Structure 1
């Protein structure tokens, strides 16, 4: 009996795997992670944004390989510190479907608001306590902190806030994940992240592997060429263990339109469904761009040149292969509802 108890104790001290069936019947492997909570061995996360609970659930049902969902519920607020609503029905649906919920907390891309709240350390405790109460009450599995466009003087403040969140959430096994941009020269959108310190505190760091075109000064091109993404991963894992890194992938792209007479350039955000329609309507043929590792289409109409570097099954396969190559924790998609169904087997 003593031997049996000893073996049971030892086994409980190590990572374990269990098989669970979701509503689609797909097995999922879990392991005990840093927060002392069972999480998927390979995370396939998707953000829900700009919709209702019913919309989110409908979108997530089309995505059988998702095992973590992040509804865009919460944001900083100058008067109440935190504002937003949590929907228990969504949490219940997700758990019944074998998915974890990491609720999204954003800063509205507002550097002044962020400075006002984060520069006062007392607010860190108040916000963490407020969130702790809501998350425990509604059995939310984790938080996804998405603070972007931050002043450099708030660099340490942000680290302090995440540390306070971790302190408040850890006793409940609630996961803390933090979004960061792919490293770039911009101080507000990149330099204000202390990646190494955030990587020590948070359970997961999600690298937003997109918006290369904007980071380069709105230069015409892909939102995320593969070499640019890979270089970002290489830089990040110097500061953060790969096992803590999740690669965020785009479910969108940009249509660049150049007036051939004036040379004026205009960009339009497009999702996969919209671009599929453009390709069919114009009878376009995809061409493989070996430099960016993506398909590409272009056409000229009314003295305007249209260029699109495609996010599709082929481009996403390349990104998943980077996750495998560097042994990252998984992927996160911005955002669910923009994709075409055929891309999901890539994430299996």
Structure 2
């Protein structure tokens, strides 16, 4: 599965045409709203293209990381039912195959509410043959970004649980480093499998990394997200040589420009191959990628041979 976001239907079609291995697309089309309940950007043209290309469509339904709006909907049975019914009607009208629910940064008090919401959503969509997948973070100490998910119960009511195997640095790590060190990802899968059967688990992998920039005078640090294609251009333009980092199981580059030191843990075909090996090792359902369009051709060569 691959997510589409921040583009148009035309760009989504172009990006998602890159590999026949991509058999489920998830355009970022729906978001929770306090007034309208569901704001939709569904486009029947993309659905038609996907079906003609042999791909299923599971649009992303997000909560824009807003805990207050999420609580207002999830804690109110009437609003929850109306939200689910509105979403179902849009999905049916557009001949969509399923939904990918991406509610993040929720209050711990909504933990049970969220499970009930997914249970009711599944009940509403099942008669139409639609699948429900739910995104969860890799377990970490943060209550709103991790503790809000009852992974065991979500795994019972949803068709698939997708572990977002990235953002260790902002998911309880809080340090300069890789977006997704392989040992951290594998441990996360092991923890998730304590709660959810492997046949329901998908591993989401990053098609991005971060440039960590340290001001050598002030020692202040800031970071910038980079698409994988951008990283390869930087490496080529600056004549950098990748070095293998055995701790993260990734390549690594660094360079100094002016008074700034740049550090990049590189996501490339080598690290993606190791992530896919985890899927085979634990017999998971499959993989997902954030974000289609940020990849390189080499990545798809590895995925196609998976």
The answer to whether the Cα contact below 8 Å between 2:209 and 2:267 also exists between their aligned partners in 1 is yes
1:314 is aligned, of 270, 276, 298, to 270
Q: Deviation digits for residues 295-324 of structure 1, max 9, x if unmatched?
A: 000111212211000011011111000000
Moved over 3 A (4+): none
Instruction: Report what 1:296 is aligned to.
Output: 252
Equivalent residue number for residue 46 of structure 1? 2
Name the SS of the counterpart of 1:79 in structure 2.
coil
Aligned-residue offset at 1:63:
2.7
* Cα contact 1:64–1:344 (8 A) shared by 2: no
Q: Tell me the equivalent position of 1:264.
A: 220
CA positional deviation for 1:217: 4.5
Structure 2, unpaired ranges of 5+:
none
1:180 aligned partner: 136
The CA distance in 2 between the partners of 1:303 and 1:345, in whole Å, is 38
- Stretches of structure 1 that go unaligned for 5 or more consecutive residues are 1-44
Q: Give 3-state SS (helix, strand or coil) of 1:291's partner.
A: coil
Could you tell me how far apart the structure 2 residues matched to 1:121 and 1:317 are?
A: 44
Q: How far apart are the structure 2 equivalents of 1:132 and 1:269?
A: 34
1:278 is paired with a residue whose SS is helix
Aligned to 1:61: 17
- Which residue number in structure 1 is paired with residue 99 of structure 2? 143
| Alignment match, 1:91 | 47
Query: Would you say the 8 A contact 2:142–2:172 is kept in 1?
Result: no
1:326-341 paired onto structure 2 within 5 Å: 326-341=282-297
Q: Aligned ranges for residues 149-228 of structure 1 at < 5 Å?
A: 149-228=105-184
Counterpart for residue 299 of structure 2: 343
Instruction: Name the CA distance, whole Å, in 2 between partners of 1:237 and 1:197.
Output: 13
Match of 2:204?
Answer: 248
Distance 1:50 1:179 in 2: 19
Q: Tell me the alpha carbon deviations over residues 35-86 of structure 1, each in whole angstroms, 9 at most, x when there is no partner.
A: xxxxxxxxxx000000000010010111331000000000001111111121
State the secondary structure of the residue aligned to 2:224: strand
Q: Give the number of the structure whose alpha-carbon radius of gyration is greater.
A: 1
CA distance in 2, matches of 1:181, 1:121: 26
Equivalent residue, structure 2, for 1:278: 234
Conserved in 1, the CA contact under 8 Å of 2:4 and 2:12? yes
TM-score normalized with structure 1 length: 0.86
Aligned to 2:87: 131
Distance 1:161 1:69 in 2: 23
RMSD: 0.8
The TM-score, its normalising length taken from structure 2, stands at 0.98
